[in-house]
Amino acid sequence: MPDTVFVLNGPNLNLLGTREPEIYGSDTLDDIAGRLDDRARSLGLTIDMRQSNHEGHLVDWLHEAQARAARAVLLNAGGFTHTSVALHDAIKAVATPVIEVHLSNPHAREPFRHVSLVGQAARGTIAGFGALSYLLALEAAARF
């Protein structure tokens, strides 16, 4: 599975396309998954795309990514980005590189979004480019 990239999405991302489109855009998670699948194929990769509103699922999936020797993880932890010591520790605990992904630019938003516990543990962060953020992160992951 070294040619697989896990794409993990946290709380409320199942509502993309209808949730605050002025911030997050009108693309759904399925729209993003389709673009990622297309680009991944051209890079010789496969995507394993998942979403959960539960923090523990994201932790378990980070562990699974390592156990399955995934090439990388693209992680949009949603609101857990700013609060989850558990995700921070899980990222630090696995050898699989994790790229933090955000549709919006957290630094241009409310002050509580300016601190990223996920970003402090991730290999890198791509934010502020809408759905393109995922594709840019995939491009980076392809180079690991």
Q: Is residue 82 among the annotated active site residues?
A: no
H or E element at residue 6: strand 4-9
Q: Is residue 63 among the annotated active site residues?
A: no
Sign of CA dihedral 45, 4, 120, 19: positive
pLDDT, tens digit, for every residue of 80-103?
Answer: 999 999 999 999 999 999 999 999
Q: Is 77:100 a contact under the CB 8 Å cutoff?
A: yes
- Domain harbouring 27, CATH code: 3.40.50.9100
pLDDT, tens digit, for every residue of 6-54?
Answer: 999 999 999 988 877 677 777 999 999 999 999 999 999 999 999 999 9
pLDDT, tens digit, for every residue of 87-144?
Answer: 999 999 999 999 999 998 887 777 777 889 999 999 999 999 999 999 999 999 999 9
Q: Which domain holds residue 117?
A: 4-141
Number of domains in the chain: 1
The catalytic residue among 88, 102, 107, 134 is: 102
β-partners of residue 72 are 5
